[in-house]
Amino acid sequence: MAAQTQEVRRLRGEMEALQENRGSLEARLAYLSAEIAKKEGHATGVDPETDPLRELKETPPVIAQMRNWKNAPRENEADAIKRVERRLRASELDYPARTLRAFHTAMKVNETSQMAVLAGISGTGKSQLPRQYAAGMGIGFLQVPVQPRWDSPQDLMGFYNYIEGKFRPTDMARALWALDEIHNAESALEDRMMMVLLDEMNLARVEYYFSDFLSRLESRPRPDKVDDENLRKDAEIELEIPKMQNPPRIFPGYNLLFAGTMNEDESTQSLSDKVVDRANILRFSAPRKIKSGRAEGTLEETMALSRETWSKWLRPLSDVDGDRPVNKRVEQMVELMRDFKRPFGHRLGRAIMAYAANYPEIEGGRGIDDALADQVEMRLLPKLRGVEVDATAPQFAKLKSFVERELGDEALVQAIDQSMAQSEDTGQFVWSGVTR
């Protein structure tokens, strides 16, 4: 029986590998077809050999693959999340439903929180969750491996090679250009979503290579105002191409989702306050026991989620702005952090409210209670790093009481206790995550 189970698992792995190879080959075919069209002058009236933006306009594999996807039928949010759950099980991955809902909501609120960060020790599934979530949802996925030498925004977007006299874009720059419906209106891939994953983002100092990009994301006007050039200009990225009268600009629109993974060991950097303030941080704690993965079902074909469908799932902050229980609890969170001498302002307050408004209504969840408990976990506890535990024992007691009585999250209370106990050597609090 064990041998048969092993053979089934092996065959499933081979089938998945073949499906991925097929997707890569189809993407390569689309890329080569596009290049042939450019050479023959079918794509634009510009000579491809002298076009200074020729390399920027090359279609990266992720975009070529997205062009080949069939359109997904319009569906409700709950059904889309169930499809992701099926894909995770078929890929031998086991994540709590609460974790998946938290990541999904973190992706939805990219207007108020510019990215989601998945942190924790190596081997806890931080990279696989966004990858399989994107495939299950029908969202393009671009993984950007961060290098320890990165020290400027050029490492993300590319640079001008003065010897060759050419701009050398990264795949990320090409993908952003291919999705920019404002500056690349003629050939942009429309009505699609893409996720960019900065893998091991803290191998280099995040503020050196990503801080400016994060500011651009934060400066984006509301989705209904992006057509206003004056409101949009601070969010646009101008590529540095000398001697070019009108260097290309890229607007990172709301069809882009950003996530990052963060390993925590002696070789990595801690996140700056700027990133912590603008990100939902999901911390993957060490598992209590090792599970043997077992695939359930088969991988479903990836079908493209339209931006229109995604937008219909989004809820404005005003949906909870007048909700008295929500306002009361957020005010309590403000007071708790003030007592810790780690206050937060309107930006984070609005982000917490937006998360609560966008938390999916799914059977088995507790709605607003789960949403606000998530925000304690993802937004407040990371800000307590370095707090002296003994000196703030009364504040921690109030925090745990709030989580237990107001939000009803016993697992989170236990996790706070465990993190406090682990601080005995240094006396300083370090949030180590919660196991659901």
pLDDT in tens, the chain (436 residues): 555 555 655 666 566 556 555 655 655 565 555 555 555 444 445 556 667 788 899 999 999 999 999 999 888 999 999 999 999 999 999 899 999 999 999 999 999 999 999 998 887 789 999 999 999 999 999 999 999 999 999 999 999 888 887 889 999 999 999 999 999 998 999 999 999 999 999 999 998 999 999 999 999 999 999 999 999 999 999 988 887 888 889 999 999 999 999 987 655 567 888 888 899 999 987 665 556 567 788 889 999 999 999 999 999 998 998 889 999 999 999 999 999 999 998 999 999 999 999 999 877 668 899 999 999 999 999 999 999 999 999 999 999 999 999 999 999 999 999 999 998 889 999 998 998 7
Tokens 């607007």 belong to residue: 251
Question: Kind of pairing, strands 115-120 and 279-284?
Answer: parallel
Tokens of 191: 């009505």
What was the pLDDT predicted at 41? 44
> Which residue stretches of 40-76 are H helix?
54-57, 61-68
Selection from 356, 271, 281, 275 nearest residue 321 by Cα:
356
- CA distance between the termini of the chain: 32
Domains of the chain: 69-277 (3.40.50.300), 316-436 (no CATH)
Q: 331 φ, ψ to 5°? A: -65, -35
| Residue 230 DSSP one-character state | H
In terms of Cβ atoms closer than 10 Å to its own Cβ (0-12, 13-18, 19+), residue 424 is exposed
**Positive or negative: CA dihedral 383, 385, 386, 391:** positive
Which string of DSSP letters, residue by residue, matches 280-294? EEEEEPPPSSPPPP-
Q: What is the pLDDT of residue 246?
A: 84
DSSP 166-227: EEEE-HHHHHHHHT-TTTSTTT---SB-EEEEEETGGGS-HHHHTHHHHHHHHTPPPGGGTT
Tell me how far apart the alpha carbons of residues 112 and 349 are, in angstroms, rounded to a whole number. Answer: 10
Give the side-chain half-sphere CA count within 13 A for 118. Answer: 26
Q: Give the helix ranges, DSSP H, for 94-170.
A: 97-108, 128-137, 154-157
Measured CA to CA, the distance from residue 305 to residue 255 in angstroms comes to 11
- Rounded Cα gap, residues 305 and 104, in angstroms: 14
Here the tokens at position 422 are: 């682990």
Report yes or no: 406 and 381 within 8 Å, Cβ to Cβ.
Answer: no
Contacts of the segment 143-149: beta carbons below 8 A, 24+ positions apart: 143/197, 143/199, 144/170, 144/171, 144/172, 144/196, 144/197, 144/198, 144/199, 145/199, 145/200, 146/198, 146/199, 146/200, 146/201, 146/202, 146/203, 146/204, 146/209, 147/203, 147/204, 148/203, 148/204, 149/204
Specify whether the CB–CB gap between 69 and 304 falls below 8 A.
Answer: yes
Alpha-carbon span 177 to 133, nearest angstrom: 23
pLDDT at 27: 54
